[in-house]
A and B are shown apart, each in its own frame.
Chain A
Amino acid sequence: MIAALEIAGLSKRFGGLPATQDVAMRVMPGERRLIIGPNGAGKTTLFNLVGGELRADAGSVRLFGTELLGLSTQRRAHLGLARTYQILTLFPRETLLHNVVLALMGLRRLRWQPWIRLAGQRALHEAAQAALARVGLADRAARIVSETSYGERRRLELAMALVQQPRVLLLDEPLAGLSAEERGAVQALLSAIPRDITIVMIEHDMDVALAFAEQITVLHYGQVIVEGTRAAVVADPRTKEVYLGG
């Protein structure tokens, strides 16, 4: 079976600093993969390389067999890649509904239309409303993003990523900065994501992450140190080493 995401020999240097060193990974369709590692291990860099915001020095990244390296970020979105960011990048002066509408439009020809009324696109707005409902934000659809709580914004971001109907979803610390209550809500949403979306997640919150993950990759100094099932990685002595020193 073809891998959802296949990374081979991926490398990136910043000046003299190797940020990503010869990383290889095979994520199968429907899998829940967790990427962990101490700060500076190169996790977000990896996402930026896969997403196309950084140009790799060497290696290959295949999405269901299609080579991504060399393609623009927007092209990768069209091929079925979606991601969320460690630092929220929403549209702060727009309503929650409009944020989702923008996300929906990104992959449709409609986005080039300069004459028709966007507000009159019923089907589009209904789909956006439904997406907000799925993350529990339906009643706040008309609120401006800057007037919402951090937890609500995280959920909005997730909704925006999901409406892209991605094949592979990259989540960069989706639980960061959330209160215990908000974390529960987001965790429930993540568990409810259907299996036709493959998820690769970076997370620091070990309890939630470990409960969620099936396969784990441990990164340190830009290299893959340990990889395998949850049980195997937790038991592996090298994992403890990475976190406790050395």
Chain B
Amino acid sequence: MTGLEGVGRWFWLAAAAVALIALPWLMPNDFYVNLASQILVYAVWALSLNLLVGFAGMQSLGHAAYLGGGAYVCAWLIANAGLGHAAAALLTVLIIGAMAGLFGVLALRASGLGFLMITLALGQILWGVAYRWVDFTGGDNGIRLPSRPAPFGLALNQPAPFYYFALAVFAVVLLVMWRIAQSPYGAALRGTRDQPRRMSALGYNVWLIRWSAFVLAGFWGGVAGLLYVYYNKFVSPQALSLQQSAEVLIMTILGGVGSIIGPVVGAVIITLVKTVVSSYVDRWNTLLGVLFLVVIVFMPEGVVPGLRRLRRRFGP
């Protein structure tokens, strides 16, 4: 599932854990620590979508609704409703979870392409609302988050503390996704992806399984939204755009659908490329489009499995 077998796997995992924990000391300056934090935020988001795309086999083009939605709800609750961080975070994930529940009911009225289109339409509607309902959402100006949270009194304003906070959340989400993947529920999810008709005949409630995956993906997407708004201290309609939904989808597909490491790898690659490209040239959108084309046509199963396949073909 992670692409590594046996003793080698534990070694690499341990090495990665050590590297991640030591990262702030290994990086030359704050810029890179912040970049790492950003990657972690997107990795959490990609992991949440992977539940839907990789495990349940349902392609969604509206996942920005949960990142942006979570960010907006949290920012609004704190900036405009005066709630404290703990209450706002809790309320945000509950609201986003409920929204995912509602959207799931609507989107699951169809499957395959119909599902894709409905998720796209729902995501666009949320974006349109954020853009137009200026009184409520600030329109193009967005909403500013006055402060980052201070869990257990620890301030997160500096790059390194925030990085560890993000790393902790990432570790939790990674653990949750891993447990789901090797659980009976995870097996049922993959079953509905491969043979929904057979699963029904075997006694599984395919609709309920899909809907629950949708809600879980939305919920954890909302958690990513919280991290997103804490990191940026700001949210604008851009967070709800189709482009954002496309970015997270390509992250999930690029790394390798169906594995846990895949979306993380995808998040790393896309975020790095985007940051590097954006500093030299304005053509990130074109590159994103080209990436889509290349990945879908030549490496539809993702980088990790694709590289493995190429190595088998051309290796020793």
Contact = CB atoms under 8 A, between A and B. Distances in A.
The answer to whether A and B interact is yes
A103 B200 CA distance: 11
B184 to A, nearest CB: 5
If over half of B's interface residues share one DSSP class (helix, strand or loop), that class is named, otherwise mixed; here it is helix
Interface stretch (A33-41, A91-99, A185-193, A210-218): A91-99
B194 A77 contact: no
Interface string A91-126: 111100010011101110011111111110100000
B187 A102 contact: yes
Contacts of B206: 74
Interface string A113-156: 11111110100000000000000000000000000000000000
A82 interface: yes
A114 B180 contact: yes
Given A74-B201, A98-B187, A118-B184, 15 more contacts: A52-B200, A73-B200, A74-B204, A77-B203, A90-B195, A102-B199, A102-B202, A105-B188, A111-B188, A113-B183, A113-B185, A114-B183, A114-B185, A118-B183, A121-B184
A72 interface: yes
Interface of B: 179-180, 182-188, 191, 194-195, 197-206
B184 A105 contact: yes
B180 A106 contact: no
B201 A90 contact: no
A94 B193 CA distance: 13
A116 B184 contact: yes
B202 A160 contact: yes
A156 B57 CA distance: 24
A164 interface: yes
A113 B181 CA distance: 11
A73 B201 contact: yes
A222 interface: no
Interface string A3-19: 00000000000000000
A9 B42 CA distance: 58
A42 interface: no
Contacts, number: 87
Contact of A89 (B186, B197, B204): B197
Contacts of A103: 202
A53 interface: yes
Contact of A117 (B182, B188, B205): B182
Interface in A55-84: 72-74, 77-78, 82-83
A77 B201 contact: yes
Nearest to B183: A114
Contacts of B194: 91-94
B3 to A, nearest CB: 15
A51 interface: yes
Contacts of B202: 74, 77, 102-103, 106-107, 160, 164
A74 B205 contact: yes
